[in-house]
């Protein structure tokens, strides 16, 4: 098989899935998940904010991802006492999850993954697209433990505040 034949073969058999993905829909879905995450965080800090113990402030943030292109989202700055914790969306085109937001503080970083709600560790599933609707996954935010053995912890108020204390060295 010559290179010319190989090129023709590749063009003919280009990934069906990539050709059928609606990248605008994927981006909008990701932006909705980011907003849902920030709504959770705001809920957990409602009383603290009301009492003036924390401030939450959003800033524009630009991401650029393959096939999706450049788009605007936001990052969140959380000010607690003399510390600032920043929540930064990383993207939706990631291996093993539908998206990631990092929480960075003076003592480190914690990764929040948007994963199958039933998963306890990152995984990749191979599916063959046959032109029909594939199984819908229930997505949920999880906390990813550090490597080498990454575990996914369900995100709730307790696990969130444990992670927060980790990044502010509290």
pLDDT tens column, 49-95 = 999 999 999 999 999 999 999 999 999 999 998 899 999 999 998 87
User: Domain ranges in the chain?
Assistant: 16-167
- Is there a contact between 124 and 118 (Cβ–Cβ < 8 Å)? no
- Other Cβ atoms closer than 10 A to 160: 20
Helix (H) or strand (E) holding 85, with range, is: strand 83-91
pLDDT band at 96 (very low <50, low <70, confident <90, very high): confident
Tell the burial category of 90 from Cβ atoms under 10 Å away from its Cβ (0-12, 13-18, 19+).
middle
pLDDT tens column, 29-42 = 999 999 999 999 99
| pTM, rounded to two decimals | 0.82
pLDDT value, residue 16: 47
Q: How far apart are CA 105 and CA 9, in angstroms?
A: 49
pLDDT band at 97 (very low <50, low <70, confident <90, very high): confident
pLDDT band at 128 (very low <50, low <70, confident <90, very high): very low
Q: What are residue 58's DSSP bridge partners?
A: 76
pLDDT value, residue 62: 97
Average pLDDT over residues 1-28: 73
Q: How far apart are CA 14 and CA 31, in angstroms?
A: 28
pLDDT band at 131 (very low <50, low <70, confident <90, very high): low
């Amino acid at each position: 098989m010559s290179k010319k034949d190989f090129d023709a073969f590749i063009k003919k058999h280009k990934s069906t899935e990539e050709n059928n993905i609606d990248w605008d829909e994927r981006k909008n879905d990701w932006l909705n998940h980011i907003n849902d995450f920030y709504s959770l965080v705001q809920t957990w800090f409602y009383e603290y904010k009301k009492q003036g113990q924390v401030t939450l402030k959003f800033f524009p943030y630009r991401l650029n991802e393959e096939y999706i292109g450049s788009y605007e989202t936001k990052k969140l700055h959380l000010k607690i006492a003399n510390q600032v914790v920043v929540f930064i969306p990383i993207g939706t085109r990631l291996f093993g999850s539908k998206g990631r937001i990092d929480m960075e503080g003076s003592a480190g970083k914690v990764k929040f993954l948007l994963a199958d709600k039933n998963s306890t560790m990152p995984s990749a599933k191979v599916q063959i697209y046959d032109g029909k609707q594939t199984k819908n996954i229930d997505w949920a935010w999880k906390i990813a433990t550090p490597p080498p053995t990454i575990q996914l912890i369900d995100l709730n108020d307790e696990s969130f505040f444990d992670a927060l204390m980790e990044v502010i060295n509290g």
